[in-house]
Chain A
């Protein structure tokens, strides 16, 4: 029975098809410290298909203090193996493996190593290695998530060559009721209602969809050819018509009509994000998403509109009227779906990929066509030789002068990466705790931060990041469990979003400042 299912609480979010995608996913995790196991914990619990931990480190005493997926008896053993064992203990549905190899060696093996994974997560990688891995993932079309956890701060970077989603599930939806241009069946239904002949109960249960269509008719009649209320005077005029139609202030359906009046004056538009999808269909791949997108683009060319979603939000109405209206929208949506399905069949024939796109997917695309979106991410190489503000790069001067911005942490963490590439350890890692012990690394790291800054065409001085640089030296490479667990939580959310192809991924960098309890997403 589906409801005694241990996955019930998540199925309510991403559905059975999302769960299937999750169970098919194969995660590659480079690293086995707390950040790696925390992210994997949140993937093993909901039932990810497989994971592979790649690391050659041995379990040390300090690991036991911050990594939950190790036991005292694991001391001295291979960390990837021990972590794998304790992660698997949580959920018998999941398969896991480990590879005794460090990240550099894995990346050095090239595409062959990563080919079989559906997503790669890499912990605490420095720039050079990250760029190489980014290139491999781009060629293989596999999403990559890089994560750095240091003291109270951290960073997450997503990179996917192209990520297309139809179920973006925005928090609030305008919906698709076609009030400004009702299709024939809807028009007939709206016209069939004779307000004057209704008794008071019936009158208070006419759905607002009908009220607004009819009010718009009246408004158009007296507005000499204007099609939609535009100015605020015109909008007031429209609302006035609605108000005059009501019989008593107790009629809740008219309250709803007034609250939703904007839906009657917003002209039908295809959102920018969807336009972008449609404009790309010619050059796109043969994936299911792009085959259906192509079919939708042909449909739009023929009828000027996207396929109808077919859902009707709840509204005050008699059962009868609501059900009739629901049927009108859903049968129109079925018609649009049939038309798209026919286009899909033709396109599949042209491409020689007969019948590969499941009807269930075509249906979901049609239901979510208004929200579909394609996400593109700047490559790591581009990020590391930063584009100018004019080219869409980040405005460092503005960010570093803004007290609410966390971009100063980005600079300090980049400097720490370079320090590690030069010296093979973290700044502050091998020193004593006093200020004088740390002064040397502080000077070196400040120099590196200046270099990172100068790679941007920014005029801001290194002074604006001094406190962050000092704090990074304080941390001396330590990994706090809580920071890793916050970051691991976000990483696993992003993995779920990427592999289920639902919701919108973060684009492209998240900075976390656990001192202030703040996060910021920036496109670096």
Chain B
């Protein structure tokens, strides 16, 4: 049996059995020991079983990784089928993680691969779960989940001795795609730049200003957005629009179409309505395949040292010829996650608390969603639960000057404030100084 095994993995094992002029000679030990680490000890977690995730699972199994777990909370939709190749028409509606794992286990069972699915959110799992893995690969479609995962892995690094304990560092290999474009990166907590270091490099989400969509709509998108955010609420107060319901989508489409007609705007279609309402990003099989394979190629090198590791970011653009750029993404000294998690802001004395909170949300390098703040003397502002929020809402309109001079002061300039936010698993320290500007 071992003989057959080694034949099955003949291609990978050859690379792992021979010296390389490119590999670090102190780290790479070609031969049986490296192979047995890959085959017997290495445990990998895949985050997401979608466009990237399906590919990553296949790539890991065919690179010799036998012990693979996958987390995904989603179910299969018909529009996944043009790229998520582990799913078929008959699987629509079933959990992605389970169907993907079952497919790989069926097709590649003879390789000794076992994929274990977890249906749920990444936030449902704690550190003891994540600590079981040697490596994480993320194929996520949103920024907030990637921030959470990135921050969690950084938080898990033990620094009690002063220096980060290498045995507690779990590398995160992260990728993303949009149409013909994609990127792959390797994050080694505390050693390389992290996901939050590059937060300001992501283009802000398209948001149509309310005054434009209400008063001077010009594009079909403006009419759809107005139908969705304003007219829906007027017609169905307190009821959420369900983007997966055909009836709801049809209502938004028809309402937007009527509105467009009264303004003489052309181009509202059902397809466009879906695109705007669901913020659809085009996705194709080829880009997902190449980015996923680039991630798993890094996983093989990170795990076995059989070659140098990507330093640290590769971007790919396939529309005009093929343009790629590989470069070390710089660590940000004041990164909220890996730069010591202390944030200093200088705000005008006469600006309000609301403006301070808005600033934390709007700043491209912070992008908090609903920050709550507390000081040594108590709550400055709390978003949840509602009764508590209401108790503190009166402060939102007060200036920072008033708050610091209140009796007793709500907080003191320069003191360490604690910020919590749904975007971050950990707490953030904030110092606010006041200026006369």
**A517 at interface, CB cutoff 8 A:** yes
A38 to B111, CA, bound (A): 19
- Nearest opposing residue in chain A for B78, CB measure: A6
Chain B contacts with A in 8-22, Cβ cutoff 8 A: 8-12, 14-15, 17-22
**A71 at interface, CB cutoff 8 A:** yes
Partner of B321, one of A479, A515, A521: A521
Given contacts A9-B284, A65-B9, A517-B298, contact A489 B293 (CB under 8 A): yes
Nearest-neighbour CB distance to chain A for B134, whole angstroms, equals 18
A171 to B219, CA, bound (A): 21
**B292 at interface, CB cutoff 8 A:** yes
Contact A319 B284 (CB under 8 A): no
Nearest-neighbour CB distance to chain A for B100, whole angstroms, equals 13
A9 CB contacts on chain B under 8 angstroms: 79, 82-83, 280, 282-284
B287 CB contacts on chain A under 8 angstroms: 489, 493
- Among A2, A42, A47, A487, the one with the most B-chain Cβ atoms within 10 Å of its Cβ is A42
A493 to B79, CA, bound (A): 19
Partner of B293, one of A67, A169, A483, A503: A483
Contact B297 A493 (CB under 8 A): no
**A124 at interface, CB cutoff 8 A:** no
A489 CB contacts on chain B under 8 angstroms: 286-291, 293
A169 to B59, CA, bound (A): 32
Per-residue 0/1 for A1-32: is the Cβ within 8 Å of any B Cβ (1 yes, 0 no)? 11111111111110000000000000000000
Contact B289 A42 (CB under 8 A): yes
> Could you say which of B160-168, B270-278, B401-409 contacts chain A?
B270-278
Contact A514 B19 (CB under 8 A): no
Contact A64 B322 (CB under 8 A): no
Given contacts A205-B216, A486-B294, A489-B289, contact A474 B15 (CB under 8 A): yes
B82 CB contacts on chain A under 8 angstroms: 6-10, 45-47
A258 CB contacts on chain B under 8 angstroms: none
Partner of B320, one of A6, A479, A488, A504: A504
**A470 at interface, CB cutoff 8 A:** yes
Partner of B289, one of A467, A474, A485, A517: A485
B111 CB contacts on chain A under 8 angstroms: 64-65
**B63 at interface, CB cutoff 8 A:** yes
**B285 at interface, CB cutoff 8 A:** yes
**A482 at interface, CB cutoff 8 A:** yes
**B364 at interface, CB cutoff 8 A:** no
**A261 at interface, CB cutoff 8 A:** no
Contact B21 A471 (CB under 8 A): yes
Given contacts A62-B10, A492-B289, A515-B307, contact A486 B21 (CB under 8 A): no
Given contacts A485-B293, A518-B314, contact A8 B321 (CB under 8 A): no
**B423 at interface, CB cutoff 8 A:** no
**A519 at interface, CB cutoff 8 A:** yes
Contact B59 A493 (CB under 8 A): no
Given contacts A65-B62, A68-B58, contact A13 B282 (CB under 8 A): yes
Contact A519 B317 (CB under 8 A): no
Contact A433 B22 (CB under 8 A): no
A42 to B288, CA, bound (A): 9
- 7 closest A-B pairs (Cβ-Cβ)? A489-B290, A485-B293, A517-B310, A481-B62, A489-B289, A61-B7, A478-B11
Chain A contacts to B: CB under 8 angstroms? 1-13, 34, 38, 41-42, 45-47, 60-62, 64-68, 71-72, 90-91, 151-152, 168-171, 205, 314-319, 322-323, 428, 433, 435, 438, 466-467, 470-471, 474-476, 478-490, 492-493, 496, 503-507, 510, 514-521
